[in-house]
Amino acid sequence: MTDSIMSKAATMEIPINSNGDTGTLAEDDSLEQDLQQVMVSGPNLNETSIVSGGYGGTAEGIISTATIKGPNMHHSSSSSSMAAEQTTRGVAVEKIETVKKWGLNTYKCTKQMISERFGRGSRTVDLELEAQIEVLRDTKRKYETVLRLARALTNHFYNMVQTQHSLGDTFAELSQKSPELRDEFGYNAETQKLLCKNGETLLGAINFFVSSINTLVNKTMEDTLMTIKMYENARLEFDAYRSDLEELSMGPRDAVAMARIDAAQQQYQVHKEKYERLRSDVIIKLKFLEENKVKVMHKQLLLFHNAISAYFAGNQQQLEQTLKQFNIKLKPPGADKPSWLEDQ
């Protein structure tokens, strides 16, 4: 149909009158109608027509596919689209509200922090609890020093044991190749092997000591300090909303102001409960941490003292008994021993 229209339009003659205007033709109206029909009869996403007959056929030959669709197909598609749009819109609104609350909370806490730093704002202080927190932080720093030095001792002692092992092997080899010094080299080889064996036993005790101190410092104490950090943040939020409520309470008492005061009172109560809950958690964790620290360190310090004393006294039996007392098991002599750094 389009080819017929375009060929028809191409072969038409358009007369020009004396004024330069196009003349009116009888076919102009029909051509315009044909072009409009071509544009209208393009593909429609919602409806497709089946046309019987050629160009210029009557409307009786057009069968709309809308008549053969299911009665609820268009309605269900529209409902699904609207539901998806409403869901997307709800998620977007929720995200906007979350960002808005976060921004407002951050602003209030920053304002409170600056006020405290410059001495213009008041803060909630628990002197006894803050003293305990400061003691914990100082204890952690000192225990980290003990851990660092114990690791250095383990590393140096491991190197010494490896050197004794190599020296013993060299003495044993020379005793075989030097008949005139066989006994002397043999005595020294046995001594170095005995020292190496006792050194490996002591290394097992020191490694156990280092592992226990590492767990206490970097897990148990760190977990308590994380709770303390949450408590300090909750304290800052509580003071921020408390200051906001006090500021609003000193203002006018009209309807709008009263609504804002009620909202501020609700937020104040929420953050107060959060602050008190975390404060209680910190107190409980500090108590259990102190008990656990005393128990662990009592055992580990006793182990460290007995093992070091037995080793330097040359008491192999007492050294082995110390490891049995604390249930420390060493690898069998033939097993490959990784370096101390690999154990960490």
Q: Which residues contact 107 (CB under 8 A, 6 or more apart)?
A: none
pLDDT of residue 91: 78
Q: Tell me whether residue 49 is in a domain.
A: no
- Is residue 174 a contact partner of residue 296, using CB atoms and an 8 Å limit? no
The one-character DSSP state at 217 is I
Q: Which residues contact 137 (CB under 8 A, 6 or more apart)?
A: 225
Q: Tell me whether residue 61 is in a domain.
A: no
Q: Tell me whether residue 122 is in a domain.
A: yes
pTM: 0.65
Q: Tell me whether residue 88 is in a domain.
A: no
Q: What is the mean pLDDT of residues 168-176?
A: 92
Residue at token pair 């080819």: 3
Domain count, the chain: 1
For the domain that residue 211 is a member of, what is the CATH number?
1.20.1270.60
Q: Tell me whether residue 297 is in a domain.
A: yes
Confidence of residue 44 (pLDDT cuts 50, 70, 90): very low
**Within 10 A of 315 (CB to CB), how many other CB atoms are there?**
14
- CA 315 to each of CA 134, 167, 322: distance values in angstroms, whole numbers, following the listed order: 43, 22, 11
Phi and psi, residue 224, nearest 5°:
-65, -40
Q: What is the dihedral of CA 295, 301, 302, 307, to 10 degrees?
A: 150
Q: Tell me whether residue 339 is in a domain.
A: no
State how far the Cα of 307 lies from the Cα of 315, in Å rounded to an integer: 10
Q: Tell me whether residue 94 is in a domain.
A: no
- Is residue 91 a contact partner of residue 75, using CB atoms and an 8 Å limit? no
Does residue 78 surpass a pLDDT of 90?
A: no
Structure tokens at 196: 């190496």
- For Cα atoms 161, 166, 172, give the angle at the middle one, nearest 5 degrees: 125
18 three-class SS? coil
**Considering only CA atoms, which of 218, 227, 231, 202 is closest in space to residue 304?**
202
Q: Tell me whether residue 150 is in a domain.
A: yes
Query: Domain limits at 202?
Result: 103-328
Which pLDDT tens digit goes with each residue over 232-284? 999 999 998 888 888 888 878 788 888 888 988 998 999 999 999 999 999 99
